[in-house]
Structure 1
């Protein structure tokens, strides 16, 4: 049989090119200090850009509202690491360990961590430094990932080519962090620009112009009230003469107050020209810029009821789906980044190839229904602001989203007829009542800032004293050969002196609050009994005659000292026990322990505790005094310290009134969150007529921002 002829061999040609790239992301000639950014505005590049986005997100109510519209549905999704049906034993264990670590054992609550991740919406990126901690699980030891956020405003430079991130730290100045240690959540990344592009980017120009007009509005209102000063001087007056210079200085520095007057020499005639400033026209411009910010950021969803349309557009299925698609994209983006940068490295370190990484995933579940609930909350929140005028069409779509029963045709027709009869009413802004109790509020802010610093210093001084003895005892225990957690935990720590010192300080603050409330009551002509006047005049907490005030001070001091000392000791013991495992000497381990303790003492937990202790003690002292004269009060008015640090929940409550002893007032009683400086101002029957009482209850998305109970 003849052999089959051999087929000619085919030549396989590779595409022309190299195994290494020749080009890069491309030069941006408008870039400042770095060629990796795609941003053309220098004010939005690098760290300066993050600072500007921070101002935009924190100081503007419209921007804050837009961000909450995006963030709240995502936060309210059911986040978990779910089980899978076909998982092996190793995979089941990996899922269990991951879920327990991130949602139960990790010292930072997952949803707090999620808030940090979601800050990429306003900054374009969020950054975390990742390192590993040795943790014991059911007989085995695992290296568990620890994520610590690095604030966007502290990131000086990102050099992908060098593999480093430069951060401005609190204590050590500028440091280089290897990019391998960093986890980035970057929105809309182009090329090598790790800072990305935030959802606020297209609204920046409108926000900047709006700020300009708001400043002009304030100056215009002031000028409108005071008029334009004019001085007619004798003809021939030398511009270099003392009289001319003094007159010019007088006009430049003229201010209006209750005792304003002017004495002029003969020949000098003083006049005030009435200003032709029209606040409404400026307010219209500001409102137009608000609309631009909303439209650029939330597209059709926020266009509802905007501009001169009178009513709301129908919240159609297409618009709802568009909003939901955006939310789902962000959830998927977080899931993917978390999986690639955190879960996969964890699995590789601890399980090698025995686990299929695709089965261990972070998931944000049930977003659709949660988003429907948030949609209702959005309508509720935007309605009083005047951005949305809900219509029957909005309700129809909302009912579908929430799977509620449909309205009957008869109900729909009646509602449509009623809407046609009613003219939409625009909410008027009272420019004369922007701030409440302004002088007292400014004074209070100064007192709080001063006392928070004092209490913070007291806390740090006492914790450093505890630290010195504690570290010495750890060294002594380790030198004896005991390095296990059980042995280290047996070291006794005494916080009695610290607690006693804090009790006296808090009692002094509570008395300050009591006395400030008493002084204010006297100013408002409230007659006080001798018993009330002397009720709390003792700075020793053990001798306070008001039982509830005494219990509050002793309880607060105990909780604060125990919490701080326990947190400090837990971190120190964890560091001490892991040192020998890593092969460190006793001296090296002790050095690490001292650093961990010092970082804790100088860190956020202690400073936050100082703020809460001061505000809580002063407010409680005021509340206890005012309770004695409740029959002389109409109720209380919520007053927030009005500056760039004012939170959304305090802004929401600001100006609202509450009846005495109402449930709503108890829920609104500050402090509402760490660093809260708000308070409840009494409304005296002797000073004003009975106001309209709000007993305000904020929307759920605002209420859940309360973190102090």
Structure 2
């Protein structure tokens, strides 16, 4: 038997020798405006674009509508309940509805703020606990906006997050928040780049060109929508430079309106010239830029049916499937960060690092099946569901049916199953067979009763029979 190999205890290499978020330029970003922290301002402007706003809403609203729960498998009940109360989550497997959380963290509000990591690449929160009751309870997840972060520090060897610095103009000393007090959501991190990569990064070039094309299209409509006034000299006249200057001033002063008008100077005539010749199709180019921005976020289904472009149901399903896969991946990433950096720290505060940690889970991302009466009937008839009081209350609430006035009947307990070791009951003897009934042959009665022959009339005295007694007497 060979000896075990000694495992490595310390790293020898480095993730990156430069610190991201400091004055050292990010060598992986070739656009100067997108170097962190300047990129925060650019992404703040990009998220106001109508198409990019629809892209972000398509991701964030689906994730916020998903089913977020706390899975306490393998954990003690008191541990699960403390973490669930701190995060404002329901425990998986508990169908009973609880009251609203008045203290602590609202998970819905925290998730809304945490999804800003899709816009800026990262979203940070500072954990604050309350120990007045003898138990460390999470009471605040204070948001630390990306606009307030001046530097992000990471371990150059392992790439682990060490902490962040904030920019505060009202104080002489900016706060430094260590990593053990932070919940840091990061999208598509590379190495020690804890500022992450924005979901809007692939759309930067189309967005930049789109802004310029919108200005060009607006100027074109404003310039050529009502025509351009032109002063033309009458044939046979040679205007002086002073007359040309006056004609130019009058043409430049002409405006379009309901009561607008102009008088031509002597020797000139006023003409409204319109646009002639072929011009670039700016609207088609803007539509193409919108499609590029949607494709960068795997949301091509937004363009189906737009601008005269159709799309089959199969094509739309393929687009939705790829987008749903991206949604599920981001949801699992958010859940993993919440488990490791929030739930685990609540457990560490109270029971130490050897205690099992409940897991934040997400389900139903990008899918919401409509429950109809037909589907309920199919589920009940197949045995997949049972008609319990909770299901009945939900059906009455969803279909706006009146509440039950009397309690539901108690369910009939199932018959006990026979034990394998119990003796089988003796079969009951069969009852004695009864003798067969005599066969009755049915005869059809005649319509009229049959007449009987009259009885034979006898005459007295009865003559002696011939040949009786002796022979003849003489």
What is the TM-score normalised by the length of structure 1? 0.43
Q: CA deviation at 1:332?
A: 0.7
SS in 2 for 1:184: strand
Task: Pick closer, same or farther for the CA change 1:18–1:146 going to 2, 3 Å.
Answer: closer
Range moving further from structure 2, 199-208 or 92-101: 92-101
Decide which of 12, 18, 37 is 1:21's aligned counterpart.
12
**1:140 aligned residue:** 134
**2:415 aligned residue:** none
SS in 2 for 1:81: strand
SS in 1 for 2:128: strand
For 1:303 and 1:178, the matched residues in 2 are separated by 43
Q: CA deviation at 1:342?
A: 1.6
Q: CA deviation at 1:323?
A: 2.7
Decide which of 101, 104, 115 is 1:104's aligned counterpart.
101
Q: Answer whether contact 1:125 1:184 (CA < 8 A) is retained.
A: yes
SS in 2 for 1:193: coil
Matched, 1:272 2:272: yes
Decide which of 60, 69, 76 is 1:80's aligned counterpart.
69
Task: Pick closer, same or farther for the CA change 1:186–1:266 going to 2, 3 Å.
Answer: same
Q: How does 1:562-641 map to 2 (within 5 A)?
A: none
Q: CA deviation at 1:362?
A: 2.1
Q: CA RMSD in A?
A: 4.3
For 1:299 and 1:12, the matched residues in 2 are separated by 51
Q: CA deviation at 1:12?
A: 8.2
Q: CA deviation at 1:301?
A: 4.5
**1:219 aligned residue:** 219
For 2:272 and 2:376, the matched residues in 1 are separated by 63
Q: Answer whether contact 2:124 2:184 (CA < 8 A) is retained.
A: yes
**1:361 aligned residue:** 359
Task: Pick closer, same or farther for the CA change 1:268–1:158 going to 2, 3 Å.
Answer: farther
Q: CA deviation at 1:107?
A: 6.2
For 1:73 and 1:260, the matched residues in 2 are separated by 53
Task: Pick closer, same or farther for the CA change 1:196–1:249 going to 2, 3 Å.
Answer: farther
Decide which of 145, 154, 158 is 2:152's aligned counterpart.
158
SS in 2 for 1:272: strand
Q: How does 1:164-179 map to 2 (within 5 A)?
A: 165-169=164-168, 171-172=170-171, 175-179=174-178
Q: Answer whether contact 2:239 2:267 (CA < 8 A) is retained.
A: no
- Ranges in structure 2 where 5+ consecutive residues have no aligned partner: 91-99, 157-161, 379-474
What is the TM-score normalised by the length of structure 2? 0.62
Task: Pick closer, same or farther for the CA change 1:119–1:250 going to 2, 3 Å.
Answer: farther
Task: Pick closer, same or farther for the CA change 1:35–1:44 going to 2, 3 Å.
Answer: closer
Task: Pick closer, same or farther for the CA change 1:113–1:272 going to 2, 3 Å.
Answer: same
Q: How does 1:359-438 map to 2 (within 5 A)?
A: 360-367=358-365, 369-370=367-368
CA deviations 1:564-586 (Å, max 9, x no partner) are xxxxxxxxxxxxxxxxxxxxxxx
Task: State the structure with more CA Rg.
Answer: 2
**2:194 aligned residue:** 194
CA deviations 1:119-154 (Å, max 9, x no partner) are 2222222222x1423255xx5342425222233334
For 1:115 and 1:32, the matched residues in 2 are separated by 28
Matched, 1:41 2:31: yes
Q: CA deviation at 1:232?
A: 5.7
For 2:258 and 2:152, the matched residues in 1 are separated by 55
Q: Answer whether contact 2:327 2:366 (CA < 8 A) is retained.
A: no
SS in 2 for 1:148: strand
Q: How does 1:418-497 map to 2 (within 5 A)?
A: none
Q: CA deviation at 1:201?
A: 1.7
Q: Answer whether contact 2:87 2:107 (CA < 8 A) is retained.
A: no
**2:282 aligned residue:** 282
For 2:220 and 2:376, the matched residues in 1 are separated by 50
Q: CA deviation at 1:20?
A: 4.3
For 2:176 and 2:280, the matched residues in 1 are separated by 52
Task: Pick closer, same or farther for the CA change 1:166–1:69 going to 2, 3 Å.
Answer: same
Q: Answer whether contact 2:104 2:139 (CA < 8 A) is retained.
A: no
Aligned pairs, number: 358
Q: CA deviation at 1:336?
A: 0.7
**2:312 aligned residue:** 312
Q: CA deviation at 1:35?
A: 3.4
For 2:347 and 2:308, the matched residues in 1 are separated by 56
**1:517 aligned residue:** none
Q: Answer whether contact 2:83 2:343 (CA < 8 A) is retained.
A: no
Q: CA deviation at 1:159?
A: 3.8
For 1:168 and 1:249, the matched residues in 2 are separated by 54
Q: Answer whether contact 1:90 1:355 (CA < 8 A) is retained.
A: no
Q: CA deviation at 1:340?
A: 1.5
